[in-house]
Amino acid sequence: MTEQNWRNWRIRIDDGNIAWLLLDVAEQKVNVLSSDTIDELRAVLDQVQTDRPRGVVIASGKSSGFAAGADISEFVPPPPAAQVGARLAIIHEQFDRLARLSVPTVALIRGFCLGGGLELALACRYRVAAKDDPATRLGFPEVQLGLHPGAGGTWRSVQACGPLAAMNLMLTGHTIDASKAERIGLIDRAVPERHLETAARRFIQGESRPHRPPLLARLTGIGVARPVLAEVLRRQVRKQANPEHYPAPHALVELWRQHGGSARTMLRAERESFAQLLQSPQSQQLVRLFRIQERLKEAGRSERFSAPRVHVIGAGTMGGDIAAWCALRGCRVTLQDRGAKYLAPAFERAHKLYRQRIRDPRARQQTLDRLMPDLAGNGADRADIVIEAIVEDRDIKRALFAELEPRLQPEALLASNTSSIPLEQLAEGLSDPSRLVGLHFFNPVASMRLVEIISGRDTAATAANRAAAFAVFLDRLPVPVRSSPGFLINRILLPYMLEALHLVTDGVPAPVIDQTMRRFGMPLGPVELADTVGLDVCLSVARILTAQFGGEVPAILEQKVVQGRLGKKTQRGFYEYRNGRIVTAATSGASGRDAEITDRLLLRLLNEALACLREQVVADADLVDAGMVFGTGFAPFRGGPMAYLRSRGADELRARLHELSAGWGAGFRPDAGWDDPRLWQHQQEGPNE
């Protein structure tokens, strides 16, 4: 066996004269395809052509996975389009060389294989991947960054698995496991991990036949079928994504419609389209949010959890779902409540979640086995983390803590899911208040990625760090927040929702308000949101926060609650519902008042966000943006409220606030935070806006 090393690649020629090209990018935990790595691939392929091995296997030299895709930091800020095009041309040249090698080439995939990593694999003649390793996932996440594949993936994926399956992968950005990848033809063989090398060798020795997609899948991409299918895709994409908000999926369909018949023109057009998308403000914001997410996850890496023991008290809406999610992510969970009848619905919901999320019946059973009912609360004595999610009542929570604390392990973390009670008040009476931290999940737990990590006056930094690391273990995004009424998200969201109700009082129909904000890019309008959260919950949060920060609770909200119209859960609120869907006739079309409605709602939100930054509820503007995007779905392509503020300009917005405060009162009086540009200008490493 001979071996030759580059900075990011190694070549090993084995006794069977097979060249093993190991990708092991220097100074990175995961393989990312930086310019440096691609430049070296040129030399590596030169070497392969000199060595003339019998075949080539490309694999990862890292245990973390095959390759995660392009090195995103090279796109921030985005280089000029011509420079991006030139860079892509170099990648295309090397991937084309790899694809044209006269000897068989195999990508051996273990762990994630995403974006540019998958494009590298697709440039090999064959692909084998591990089917028994949950970390092995394949996909094109580019669309989530406002992009589409740019290293030949738009052409090669369609060749491998037909246009429908390939477009589905690229348009959704979803990842798939090896078995599914084999079914659709993205890879040739899914095998148990221990057989990967043998499988790769067999392809090189010509003993295995490649997997091809069904004839029908291939036919849909050629001749007259292509424009017809492209039109169907175009309509579907239009329904799901506004092209002004998310241009990338539309550009991808158009690319294929126009050029899908020729490799040469498609590959050239792919580069041009990618370079153009990269310049779009939408993509720049999505890339920026991606990097903020990475920053949050990194901050939560202070401790590596493996199967921690978690005890959850309170099996209601939140506690039940938190417990189910913890078990899904590998924790051993005990769930406590006051009686069996409170536990039963939580277990029913857990079953439903696992049926949706876990295909393998054995794995599903194992997950269920990790979630145990515990009426006596014995699990608290052994737990690494205890999460309290009982009723929102300070005294009841305190009484529970007093009983609980003496039984906890010395190192155990004590967490509360409270949504409004200052941590200092809950910590009163604890002999060790430093271990108490807020772990504020959002509803529904399985789909909201944000967790606020709340530190009170006495919370130890180590406790907050552990809580953040635990959130990362749960695949959530931890945002560190200082204990203060409403914490970050509820505090910012409430004025926005209340202003919407003031608008209703002023005679603007709820559907007009909601549709305006959907057009802005919100997933739900503010009135629908209030109905979904529950008007009783909104009222109670509104009372707490207006008592603290001033403002008025709209009378209409109190009236609805008195009438028992609590929103979706009672089938009636501001809207009428049937089977969870609005039945009230919706008003359609623009109202001509978009600018006024949007400004009234968003300026309340921004004013409160600046107050939070001024009071250092969170450390910087990026955290506000991440919190609002991942906790409430704030239009991601706009990058969050603070990015929106920067894009419109603080001077213009402040002037608008003055105007509005003349007509609509004190809620619009600019917060002192507007006088301190550092509060909104602060950015980690964002694009130039």
Cα separation, 524 vs 521, in Å, equals 9
Helix (H, G, I), strand (E, B) or coil at 422: coil
| Stretch binding ligand NAI (CB under 6 A), from 21-29, 110-118, 229-237, 331-339 | 331-339
Q: Which is nearer to ligand NAI, 337 or 620 (CB)?
A: 337
Q: Does 425 bind ligand NAI (CB under 6 A)?
A: no
Q: Does 415 bind ligand NAI (CB under 6 A)?
A: no
Cα separation, 18 vs 194, in Å, equals 19
| Stretch binding ligand NAI (CB under 6 A), from 79-87, 127-135, 146-154, 389-397 | 389-397
Site string for ligand NAI, 239-258 (x = CB under 6 A): --------------------
30: which 2 tokens? Answer: 């995961």
DSSP3 helix / strand / coil % (the chain, rounded to 5): 55, 15, 30
- The residue nearest ligand NAI at its CB is 316
Q: Which is nearer to ligand NAI, 316 or 509 (CB)?
A: 316
Q: Does 417 bind ligand NAI (CB under 6 A)?
A: yes
Which letter does DSSP use for residue 186 in this model? S
Q: Does 315 bind ligand NAI (CB under 6 A)?
A: yes
| Stretch binding ligand NAI (CB under 6 A), from 81-89, 327-335, 414-422, 552-560 | 414-422
Residues of span 7-26 touching ligand NAI by CB under 6 A:
none
596: which 2 tokens? Answer: 């006024």
| Stretch binding ligand NAI (CB under 6 A), from 103-111, 290-298, 411-419, 422-430 | 411-419
CB of 369 to ligand NAI, least distance (A): 23
Spatial CA neighbour of 68 closest among 29, 94, 106: 29
Q: Does 532 bind ligand NAI (CB under 6 A)?
A: no
Q: Does 443 bind ligand NAI (CB under 6 A)?
A: yes
Spatial CA neighbour of 482 closest among 427, 450, 429, 438: 438
Among 178, 253, 324, 389, binds ligand NAI (CB under 6 A): 389
CB of 318 to ligand NAI, least distance (A): 3
CB atoms inside a 10 Å sphere around CB 71: 18
| Stretch binding ligand NAI (CB under 6 A), from 211-219, 330-338, 561-569, 661-669 | 330-338
Q: Which is nearer to ligand NAI, 196 or 426 (CB)?
A: 426
Q: Which is nearer to ligand NAI, 113 or 400 (CB)?
A: 400
92: which 2 tokens? Answer: 């295309």
CB of 338 to ligand NAI, least distance (A): 5
Q: Does 312 bind ligand NAI (CB under 6 A)?
A: no
Among 18, 48, 121, 318, binds ligand NAI (CB under 6 A): 318
Task: Count the site residues for ligand NAI by CB under 6 A.
Answer: 22
Residue with tokens 């059973």: 365
Among 69, 85, 163, 319, binds ligand NAI (CB under 6 A): 319
Q: Does 390 bind ligand NAI (CB under 6 A)?
A: yes
Residues of span 333-362 touching ligand NAI by CB under 6 A:
336-338, 342
* Contact partners, residue 437, CB within 8 Å, separation at least 6: 413, 414, 415, 416, 423, 453, 454, 455, 456, 459, 463, 464, 466, 467
Taking each helix axis from N to C end, the angle separating 535-549 and 489-505, rounded to the nearest 10 degrees, works out to: 110
Cis peptide before 677 (omega within 30 of 0): no
- Decide if 515 contacts 525 (C-beta within 8 A): yes
Q: Does 609 bind ligand NAI (CB under 6 A)?
A: no
Q: Does 485 bind ligand NAI (CB under 6 A)?
A: no
Q: Which is nearer to ligand NAI, 6 or 342 (CB)?
A: 342
Among 31, 144, 418, 465, binds ligand NAI (CB under 6 A): 418
Among 314, 456, 551, 567, binds ligand NAI (CB under 6 A): 314
C-alpha distances out from residue 276 to 81, 83, 84, Å: 6, 11, 9
CB of 251 to ligand NAI, least distance (A): 38
Q: Give CA 25 to chain center in angstroms.
A: 25
CB of 10 to ligand NAI, least distance (A): 49
CB atoms inside a 10 Å sphere around CB 77: 12
40 CB-side CA count, 13 A: 19
CB burial class (10 A; 0-12, 13-18, 19+) of residue 410? exposed
Q: Does 317 bind ligand NAI (CB under 6 A)?
A: yes
| Residues assigned a catalytic role | 119, 142
Cis peptide before 77 (omega within 30 of 0): yes
Helix (H, G, I), strand (E, B) or coil at 287: helix
Which letter does DSSP use for residue 567 in this model? B
Among 1, 215, 224, 391, binds ligand NAI (CB under 6 A): 391
Q: Does 392 bind ligand NAI (CB under 6 A)?
A: yes
CB of 347 to ligand NAI, least distance (A): 12
Q: Does 280 bind ligand NAI (CB under 6 A)?
A: no
DSSP output for 225-260: HHHHHHHHHHHHHHHHS-TTT-HHHHHHHHHHHHHT
Residue type, 689: E
Buried b (16+ CB within 10 A) or exposed e, 166-197: bbebbbebebbbbebbbebbbbbbbbeeeebb
Q: Which is nearer to ligand NAI, 318 or 610 (CB)?
A: 318
Q: Which is nearer to ligand NAI, 319 or 686 (CB)?
A: 319
Cα separation, 382 vs 79, in Å, equals 54
Q: Which is nearer to ligand NAI, 337 or 625 (CB)?
A: 337
Residues that bind ligand NAI (CB under 6 A): 313-319, 336-338, 342, 389-392, 396, 400, 417-419, 441, 443
